[in-house]
Structure 1
Amino acid sequence: MSLIPSFFGAGRRTNVFDPFSLDLWADLPGLKKEEVKVEIEEGNVLQISGERSREKEDKNDTWHRVERSSGRFLRRFRLPENAKVDHVKASMENGVLTVTVPKEDVKKPDVKPIQITG
């Protein structure tokens, strides 16, 4: 599973990522949307997880071959305090998962100009 953006913090070692952008993409080739879970955990943590299990069978008159593969993945992202966690949306198309987290507008402080005399 590859994720964009791929910036994983300034030297911190953790499995929780503090993203600059609130649009995340995950490349999940071969997975169906039913095999992927997107959840918001306590503490504004977005969790993306899933499991794949594949079986490929080839046979003819002289041989029979079965290949099986499986695996799990889990990624966590700490969302900023102004994230609207009730409005998170996820979509999956052609093996690409897109998660969009809207942010609340941050009120900019009022600036009062001071006239300089002298």
Structure 2
Amino acid sequence: MKGKDTFYGVFLRVDMPGVGKESVKVRIEKDTVIMKGEGQKDFEDDELGPRYYFSIQLPIEQYNTDGVKANMVNGVLKVFVPKFKLKERTNLLHVTVF
């Protein structure tokens, strides 16, 4: 898994060869983004196909988990978790400097 944190949010890229978009699940549990995928088995004697599980913890007060977007193309899952805009954050404390 690769990730890049920007001013706008965090971009995640996960390689899941052999997995189609219908077999990928992305969910948020509290402060954790969970990405799972399961592919088809290649041969009849294979017991299971490829399975992938990735998770990343994010500071929940900075990220808008309601705005998560995901896209799966050619075995590559891309997930974007946007950050709250400054005015949307509720835990900011404004301090007057003297």
What SS does structure 1 have at the residue aligned with 2:22? helix
- Code of the residue aligned with 1:34 in structure 2: it is E
TM-score with structure 2 setting the length:
0.72
> What is the percentage of aligned positions where both structures have the same residue?
36
Deviating above 4 A after TM superposition, structure 1's stretches of 4 or more consecutive aligned residues are 107-112
Where structure 2 has 5 or more consecutive residues not aligned to the other structure, the ranges are none
Alignment of 1:62-101 (within 5 A): 66-68=44-46, 69-80=48-59, 81-101=61-81
How many residues align structurally? 87
Counterpart of 2:2 (choices 1, 4, 17) is 4
Alpha-carbon offset, residue 91 of structure 1 = 0.3
Where structure 1 has 5 or more consecutive residues not aligned to the other structure, the ranges are 6-19, 57-65
Q: C-alpha distance in 2, partners of 1:75/1:90?
A: 14
Alpha-carbon offset, residue 79 of structure 1 = 1.6
Alpha-carbon offset, residue 67 of structure 1 = 4.2
Compare the two structures and name the one with the higher helix fraction. 2
The alignment status of 1:24 with 2:12, answered yes or no, reads yes
TM-score with structure 1 setting the length:
0.61
Residue 104 of structure 1 corresponds to 84
> Which of these two proteins has the greater Rg computed from alpha carbons?
1
